[in-house]
Homo-oligomer: A and B are copies of this chain.
């Protein structure tokens, strides 16, 4: 047996290269040769780790969406002062908005991914599950708030989860398009939360 290489690590390195290219030229604009060059490897080596372009795209998207989910869960779990439902929801929204350059890049790529999903039936289930999981996370917090009586009367946690997620999503798009400042987006989230929590 010859030397064994950490496949997972190599794949992640390639995924990073693809991510960097996709952030400027878009997912579809990244050819195998481009990615290989960006990763500093040969086309042959890239193909050794990803037999097909589709496989490379799929792995990369799964990798980064897993990273994103992990970051969110970490934000929720980590002990910050007073992990109230409202504070948790604020943290999640902050994670979903393009407040930093890194988030901006990620959102730009993810938007390209969304388009891809809309045109490709096969990718839809995974994307749907991701959204539904996130929505569930928000709904959990809202339900806790409702039990504590912190929620504005008459609001349904499940519906408010959908509304907050949609709002954040829309605000993110606006910030990406430079028609809304990142700070203003966060301000609107806060104002929205103010209305949801016993305004």
Contact = CB atoms under 8 A, between A and B. Distances in A.
A114 B28 CA distance: 14
A119 interface: yes
A166 B159 contact: no
Given A162-B174, A167-B170, A118 B108 contact: yes
Given A162-B174, A167-B170, A188-B166, A179 B132 contact: yes
A111 B24 CA distance: 17
A86 interface: no
Interface SS majority for chain A: helix
A124 B179 CA distance: 10
Given A128-B179, A167-B166, A195-B195, A25 B174 contact: no
A135 to B, nearest CB: 7
B174 A170 contact: no
A118 B180 contact: no
Given A117-B177, A169-B173, A170-B170, 4 more contacts: A114-B173, A114-B177, A131-B174, A166-B188
A171 B159 CA distance: 12
Contacts of A127: 177
